[in-house]
Amino acid sequence: MMPYLNFYKNYLQIQMTEFLNGLWFWLRRIPLIGKSISPKFYGMRDLKTVILVVFKWLSLPLTVLRKSFLVFIAWLVAFGVKNLSLQKESVLWDTFRIDYPEIFHWTLTIFLLFCIFEQLSFVKASSGSLFRGIAFAKMFRLSYGDTLKKLNRINLVMSLLAYIFPLGILGLIYHQSFVAIVLPSSFRLLTLNFALFLVSKNWWVDILDSYQKKIFKYSYNLVVFGGGVFGLFYLTLVHTLEWTALSAWIILILASVSFLLSQKKKLSQRFIQSIFRNLAYHEQIVTEAKSNQSNTGLKAAQKSSQKIEVTDEQELFDKFSGIQLLNRLLFKRYRKIFKKKLFYRLGGLGLAFLIILGVYAYLVIRFGKTNYLTFNQVGNILPSIFFIMYLASISKEVVAIYYTKCDQAMLNYPFYRTEQTILQSFIGRLKQSFILNTPIVVALFINVFLGILLFGKAIPLSFYGLIVFYGVAVNLLFSFHELFLYYILQPFDREGGMKNPIFTVINGIFYYFCIQNYQLANRFDETTTYVLTISIIIVVYVSLGLIIVKLKAPKRFKLK
């Protein structure tokens, strides 16, 4: 008993110490007042112990309340099912009663099922409490098996103590106090002992390993969860389940015997290694979930480490050197990511192509008329290309790959930050970005031409040349813009997170411009004027941008 108490006391103190130190650390970082907060608090062990005791006592009612809520939910389900099953034709709320004995029995059944499900995550070597326990044991040089066993038993006792109050109330209402308290408590102990027995056996890990295979996983879930839910309904609705004092005694005896038998059981090494394996998998998922919060390009880049392609690069080595070689190698090795992105985007545009053809065929068959689009209406379609390109352009991914797979490391070296290298690298990357975006722009404009050819027969062929010019300008803009901001603002921090708020603001403005392009187009009477104006603006923006890159990028393109 004493080793358990000593362990639990230390465990609580460690948790509270880390919490209080963390809180103090945070307070000390608050601007203005932080400086006046003394770090001496970190050394005040006695004060922290006092706070722990006070905190524990204050949190006691909250714990009891949380457990009471769970019992209440179980009771509410039982209460609802019982009363609704008695309603014949329509629901009569004034006939609802709480004193049906079945409500008590069903509440306990639901609670017992909950106990089984709770132990499932333990025996599957994959619960948060197991992961925390293992980390705790590792950090404080404790036995993994012993620590997990102690923590589980302590948690069980603490939880049972907290359940006494709500279960006691339930027992008082239905005049079955002994059954209400003893039966669930004994059952929880029994399931834990049974779980400890399972995890002490090596064959259990073989079963767990087979569980990792999907087919077993599904059948297992079907049998355990499906069977559990079905069993509950079957027992409650078809057979009226009764939990008596005798069943409480039987379970109490079983729990006591199994407790004695499980005293010397040790968690098997293979089970502990399963926890380590699941923990590594869990950490990977958490890391991926964190990366999902960052921008899409960065997400793709971070995932891309598994997708690097080994390619035949001798030709590149023969033809290029220096920064050009580096950029081309980078492109070649990560082309699989770009290919995949392009594939989906071109697939979407291919679908649009088929839809246009389908609509055309339908209109011809139904009405026989095809000359729908006028010159100005075509002009109204063109601004939408801006927004489509904003969504479809591959530049975000390209920039993120540059950063995470190359610049994040290379920017540490002075030779990589020289003016000449930066400018060469910028131009090379702009070309590559332009080439990558070209299939998207081409596919987009094939759709536009198809639409004009099919529906706008009166439109002169000379206009097509202007649209091609517009297409090149749009491609240039979307290939240039993201890269330009990257070189001038370098928005990523060392961990790959987004750091620069100006980058976000400028991107927001650019997004707004892409949407509002319709409004701009409406201000022009002639479509030709709009197309020419926009194309010239783009060329001017890119030219000015290139000058800014030449002047500013060597100073600003660095690690944050």
Spatial distance between the Cα atoms of 553 and 342, rounded to a whole number of angstroms: 29
Q: Which is nearer to another protein, 191 or 274 (CB)?
A: 274
Q: What residues from 524 to 543 belong to the interface with another protein (CB under 8 A)?
A: none
Spatial distance between the Cα atoms of 394 and 297, rounded to a whole number of angstroms: 9
Tokens of 554: 């060597």
Q: Is 272 in the site for another protein (CB under 8 A)?
A: yes
Spatial distance between the Cα atoms of 108 and 127, rounded to a whole number of angstroms: 25
Q: Is 177 in the site for another protein (CB under 8 A)?
A: no
CB of 25 to another protein, least distance (A): 6
Q: Is 287 in the site for another protein (CB under 8 A)?
A: no
CA distances from 490 to 92, 404, 408 (A): 67, 12, 11
Q: Is 18 in the site for another protein (CB under 8 A)?
A: yes
Out of 63, 146, 411, 450, the only residue in the binding site for another protein (CB under 8 A) is: 146
Stretch that binds another protein, among 16-24, 76-84, 117-125, 252-260 (CB under 8 A): 16-24
Distance linking the first and last C-alpha atoms of the chain: 54
Stretch that binds another protein, among 270-278, 308-316, 382-390, 410-418 (CB under 8 A): 270-278
Stretch that binds another protein, among 103-111, 144-152, 216-224, 356-364 (CB under 8 A): 144-152
Q: Is 6 in the site for another protein (CB under 8 A)?
A: yes
CB of 361 to another protein, least distance (A): 52
Q: Which is nearer to another protein, 273 or 296 (CB)?
A: 273
Residue 538 and residue 476 in contact, taking contact as beta carbons nearer than 8 Å: yes
Residue 503 and residue 485 in contact, taking contact as beta carbons nearer than 8 Å: yes
Q: Is 10 in the site for another protein (CB under 8 A)?
A: yes
Question: What angle do the packed helices 395-402 and 335-367 form, to 10 degrees?
Answer: 180
Out of 129, 212, 221, 269, the only residue in the binding site for another protein (CB under 8 A) is: 269
Out of 58, 139, 215, 461, the only residue in the binding site for another protein (CB under 8 A) is: 139
Out of 56, 138, 175, 552, the only residue in the binding site for another protein (CB under 8 A) is: 138
Q: Is 263 in the site for another protein (CB under 8 A)?
A: no
Q: Is 17 in the site for another protein (CB under 8 A)?
A: yes
Spatial distance between the Cα atoms of 423 and 447, rounded to a whole number of angstroms: 36
Q: Which is nearer to another protein, 19 or 541 (CB)?
A: 19
For 492, phi and psi rounded to 5 degrees? Answer: -95, 145
The DSSP secondary structure of 262-320, one letter per residue, reads: HTT----HHHHHHHHHHHHHHHHHHHHHHHHTS-HHHHHHHHGGGGPPP---HHHHHH-
Out of 12, 13, 332, 520, the only residue in the binding site for another protein (CB under 8 A) is: 13
Handedness of CA 213, 216, 217, 218 (dihedral sign): positive
Q: Which is nearer to another protein, 18 or 419 (CB)?
A: 18
Q: Which is nearer to another protein, 23 or 468 (CB)?
A: 23
Spatial distance between the Cα atoms of 359 and 382, rounded to a whole number of angstroms: 20
Q: What residues from 43 to 102 belong to the interface with another protein (CB under 8 A)?
A: 43, 45
CB of 200 to another protein, least distance (A): 11
Query: DSSP 3-state assignment of 498?
Result: strand
Q: Is 129 in the site for another protein (CB under 8 A)?
A: no
Q: Give the burial class of 95: count Cβ atoms within 10 A of its Cβ; 0-12 exposed, 13-18 middle, 19 or more buried.
A: exposed
CB of 33 to another protein, least distance (A): 19
Tokens of 127: 């619960």
Residue 272's nearest CA partner among 190, 200, 194, 339 is 200
Stretch that binds another protein, among 11-19, 312-320, 506-514, 536-544 (CB under 8 A): 11-19
Q: Which is nearer to another protein, 274 or 393 (CB)?
A: 274
Q: Is 412 in the site for another protein (CB under 8 A)?
A: no
Stretch that binds another protein, among 69-77, 137-145, 381-389, 511-519 (CB under 8 A): 137-145
Question: What angle do the packed helices 335-367 and 296-303 form, to 10 degrees?
Answer: 130
Stretch that binds another protein, among 21-29, 281-289, 304-312, 379-387 (CB under 8 A): 21-29
Count of residues near another protein by CB under 8 A: 33
CA distances from 67 to 11, 133, 166, 524 (A): 22, 22, 7, 68
Spatial distance between the Cα atoms of 71 and 213, rounded to a whole number of angstroms: 35
By the criterion CB under 8 A, which residues form the site for another protein? 6-7, 10, 13-14, 17-19, 21-22, 25, 39-40, 42-43, 45, 137-146, 266, 268-270, 272-273, 276
